[in-house]
Chains A and B, each alone.
Chain A
Amino acid sequence: MFAIEKPLPRPTEDTAPYWDAAQRGELRMQRCGDCGHVRFPPSLLCARCLSEEHEWVKLSGRGTVFSWIVVHQSQHPAFNADTPYNVTIVELEEGPRLHTQLVDCANDQIRIGMAVEVVFDKINDEVTLPKFRLLR
């Protein structure tokens, strides 16, 4: 049978360090070498001061739930079988927010402000997706 595969990240020069770190079990983002702002999504330059100097720093992996939704009607056929599934925005301790998924937690138990920590979901030999669970 013809199966529609889930779309996966296609790393670029700008984003590869993020995905490479995830494969190693680390959450890394760019910290500006001039103003210290930690930015996301990855970018050639700092949106606060336009500096290109940066370092890919390892983050604590801890944060809180900023928002969550539960998709009941998938907008892509590859996710139809997963419904209902959550999409959660996590605000990290270091500031940035990212779209992700909360695992090991029933959808109706999720609340804004919950403390969460990163876990790594290995999809295949090339791709690992950062996800989150309740802080243990």
Chain B
Amino acid sequence: MANLNGKYAVVGVGTSRFGKLQGVSTMGFTLEASKRAIADAGIARDAIDGVLVMMPAIMGEQHGWAARVAAYLGIEPTFSATLDMGGATACGSVQTAMAAIDAGYCTAVLCCFATQNWPQGVAMQLFGSDFQVPYGDVGAITLMAHIKRRQQYEHGFTDEHYGKIAVTWREHAMRNPDAQMKKPITLDDYLKSRWVAEPLRLFDCCPNTDGGGACIVTSLERARDLAKPPARILGAGQSHSSEMIHPHGYDREHWGGKPAAALAFGLAGVTPKDIDVAQFYDAFTPRVIHDLVAYGFCQPDEVGGFIHGGNLSLTGSLPSNTAGGLISEGHLSGFGHIREGVRQIRGECGARQVKDAELCLVTGYGGAPHEAPPTVSYSALVLGR
């Protein structure tokens, strides 16, 4: 297998406006974020010959999505694909970009996405399967509530553990001018927040976010000529599995994402102990607990104490979700995490900068949690100076 460790880099990152922004199109957000990533990289638009785009969550009949994004940007790429891994697409598209460049298909790749939660001109289709939706089991949130239930049942996590994550992320968001949720919250506020899908509370959940994000991947060699210090891609991995309902069998020990972690750390040649800053895919707080175990930072019985001890805060041993995460910055489908990871590596994060951040883990998670069987993709990147 080709050793891609450090051969490629993320050289530009950008997000569009984001928040509650009805009226902006999915394409509009995609183009805005892409233009900003291109400008951030200081790369010529015409130098981009690869375009990878996440399939919009609300798709309708949008054929040729990635090629259309390229057309609107005035690019005729030699490699392009629309990728369908939901929140795992951001890290997965960076990994795919590396492979495509290494194969000689292209030399510089734009990876991007956008979500408009209320798109115009798109046939709305209800997510979910015949084996779930008729029971009022709709959307990703119900599976995540089941995951929290099983985490608490199997490992004894208390609501205070989940609450501490939400409070910590909010403290980070208060140091991020772009974050959507900047009002301080306390653990008591968390414990009093209403049930959305019990055992998930409102403050376990990220806000629905309209917006887009993008990044540019090219070789380290070319990166040296560009505007900003490159964030080298040291490791990448992905894995895909069903959750709770497994058509192949019913293994109680299943812990999704462990293969992605082994691949990413293995390629990078580092261990969880070496990581200086992490961006965990946190559409809901139980995801953070899951990733702390799946990525090898803690054993299941250590996670509670690890969180309670403040290790995830900016001054802790593993500063995480430093821009506020999906939960407080906004649901940018993991592209926010890549942007933040790159900025931490560059040292651009101002009041939330982690000192001497040399290695950053970024995780992704998503796909079809609302289908039968609930099926999700895990992806990860290790970024470094």
Contact = CB atoms under 8 A, between A and B. Distances in A.
B142 to A, nearest CB: 6
Interface stretch (B26-34, B114-122, B193-201): B193-201
A32 to B, nearest CB: 11
B198 A72 contact: yes
Contact of A89 (B129, B141, B146, B199): B146
Contacts of A112: 149, 153
A99 B246 CA distance: 12
Contacts of A40: 245, 247
A10 B246 CA distance: 22
Contacts of A105: none
A10 to B, nearest CB: 6
B83 to A, nearest CB: 24
B248 A48 contact: yes
B134 A7 contact: yes
A41 B129 contact: yes
B198 A70 contact: yes
Interface string A100-135: 110000010000100000000001000101000000
B254 to A, nearest CB: 12
A48 B150 CA distance: 25
B1 to A, nearest CB: 27
A51 interface: no
Contacts of B131: 9, 41, 98-99
B350 interface: no
B198 A69 contact: yes
Interface in B92-120: none
A87 interface: yes
B126 interface: yes
Contact of B146 (A41, A67, A84, A101): A67
A48 B246 CA distance: 10
A71 B142 contact: yes
A133 B131 CA distance: 18
Nearest to A123: B134
B130 interface: yes
Interface residues of A, number: 44
Contacts of A47: 247-248
Interface residues of B, number: 35
B146 A69 contact: yes
A70 B195 contact: yes
B137 interface: yes
B286 to A, nearest CB: 12
A76 B324 CA distance: 29
Contacts of A28: none
B346 to A, nearest CB: 39
B312 interface: no
B130 A15 contact: yes
Interface string B199-223: 1100000000000000000000000
B135 A75 contact: no
A97 B250 contact: yes
A25 B207 CA distance: 42
A6 B135 CA distance: 9
A99 B150 contact: no
Interface in B334-369: none
A87 B133 CA distance: 10
Given A68-B149, A69-B142, A76 B136 contact: yes
B132 interface: yes
A89 B244 contact: yes
B139 interface: yes
Interface string B51-64: 00000000000000
A79 interface: yes
Given A66-B244, A71-B197, A99-B131, A87 B142 contact: yes
A37 interface: yes
Contact of A75 (B139, B194, B244, B373): B139
Contacts of B126: 7, 76
A89 B138 contact: no
Most buried by B among A7, A8, A87, A99: A99
A7 B132 CA distance: 10
Contact of B134 (A6, A66, A70, A95): A6
Contacts of A15: 130
For B131, B138, B150, which residue has the most chain A Cβ atoms within 10 angstroms? B131
A75 B137 CA distance: 8
List the 9 shortest-distance A-B pairs measured between CB atoms, nearest first.
Answer: A9-B130, A69-B145, A79-B136, A75-B138, A47-B248, A70-B198, A75-B139, A47-B247, A72-B195
Interface of B: 126, 129-139, 141-142, 145-146, 149-150, 153, 194-200, 244-250, 372-373
